[in-house]
Structure 1
């Protein structure tokens, strides 16, 4: 007659515990879509704040890139904010994203699904005084990358 040996409980608990710890660590370092959308908006406005308009343009969705040629965008942003407003930088805040089921940039463009609306506030101290711009920025995934759109409705 063969005796069955029971495995010590430690031989079961240690691998199970290790697996749970690995799952916890992976989940801590994985960003949610909301966090990724908010981070993209931060990156965009950090570039804008540094007058690196070429890099911020690169974060636009192709529909936005069609709307503004890169060279024109760089020149116009610099001209308006530095030239007309008399300011070379601004402060900004990014609020928490709101997930929208669907959204359109204009009435004639694609309907996007799983869009994040991210409100931002820019504050300029210029030769004309302090002024603030509030804008909703929309973030969608395009070909696996998060991209930025503005509303024209």
Structure 2
């Protein structure tokens, strides 16, 4: 007499399929996670005074605002000379999806960006202080890039 093993095989296939779906969900980061990771990497570069690598993470519209040499010179000048600091710590809030956002009042409309509030904490010659800034990330030609807000 032959026993029906279909329910056992079917259950094993179902469990395997669910496990595979869950594994893929955890291994492939969501857009919001990728956006936050890009912003985090940007500020890690700046924290290490690697302003060129940070600049490379800018959206082309941001790169149009600052040439590489001027960004390198100005960022280091502001931190070292004006703030009197040699490092900073930072924290990131959770990303928030924003649709139809513009970097400038009359600028290009980005269908989807992720807004992350960044808090940078400095301990410098002139005391301890924080800068809080909303920073945006979007996907451009399969790469995640950073944008700053210049709206009035």
Q: Report the TM-score when normalising by structure 2.
A: 0.93
Give 1:59's match in structure 2, choosing from 57, 60, 71.
57
The number of equivalent residue pairs is 151
> Runs (4+) of structure 1 moved beyond 6 Å?
none
Give 1:135's match in structure 2, choosing from 133, 140, 145.
133
Residue 144 of structure 2 corresponds to which residue in structure 1? 146
Deviations 1:97-140 (A, max 9, x none): 11111111112210111111111111111101111111000111
Q: Distance in 2 between matches of 1:81 and 1:8?
A: 68
Q: Distance in 2 between matches of 1:46 and 1:106?
A: 26
Within the alignment, does 1:101 sit opposite 2:99 as a pair? yes
Residue 89 of structure 2 corresponds to which residue in structure 1? 91
Gaps of 5+ in 1: none
Say what the alpha-carbon RMSD is for the aligned residues.
1.7
Residue 50 of structure 1 corresponds to which residue in structure 2? 48
Q: Distance in 1 between matches of 2:80 and 2:105?
A: 32
Q: Distance in 1 between matches of 2:95 and 2:18?
A: 30
C-alpha displacement at 1:6, in angstroms? Answer: 4.3
**Higher CA-based Rg:** 1
Q: Distance in 1 between matches of 2:78 and 2:6?
A: 73
Q: Distance in 1 between matches of 2:134 and 2:49?
A: 20
Q: Report the TM-score when normalising by structure 1.
A: 0.92
Q: Distance in 2 between matches of 1:144 and 1:52?
A: 23
- The DSSP-based 3-state class of the residue aligned with 1:124 is strand
